[in-house]
Amino acid sequence: MFNNKTNRLAAKLTIIFAAAALVLGLSACSPEVGSEAWCKQMKDKPSGDWTANEAADYAKHCVF
């Protein structure tokens, strides 16, 4: 019915769409920077694991 080239293309497209759905799904789980939930999440995270940007955002949004 379909040739081998069509089957490989369909498999590649399936993998690409699955990866895109995974990335979008994971990014939707993070609270917005500066929100109350984000401040609480950062407070619970060990400060040694913070990036420089996270530390600056925490000071800007959660401390001051």
Between 64 and 10, name the one with better pLDDT.
Answer: 10
Query: pLDDT digit string (tens) for 3-53?
Result: 888 888 888 989 998 888 777 777 667 899 999 999 999 999 999 999 999
- Is the whole model's pTM more than 0.75, yes or no? no
Number of domains in the chain: 2
**pLDDT in the model for residue 54:** 96
Considering the domain architecture, whether residues 14 and 38 belong to the same structural domain is answered as: no
Domain that holds residue 18: 1-30
**Which residue from 39, 41, 45, 36 is spatially nearest to 58, judged by alpha carbons?**
39
- C-alpha distances out from residue 48 to 4, 12, 14, Å: 52, 40, 39
Q: How close are the terminal C-alpha atoms of the chain, in Å?
A: 65
Which residues fall within 8 angstroms of residue 62, CB to CB, at 6 or more apart? Answer: 34, 39, 42, 43
Considering the domain architecture, whether residues 25 and 39 belong to the same structural domain is answered as: no
**pLDDT in the model for residue 5:** 85
Considering the domain architecture, whether residues 12 and 1 belong to the same structural domain is answered as: yes
Considering the domain architecture, whether residues 61 and 35 belong to the same structural domain is answered as: yes
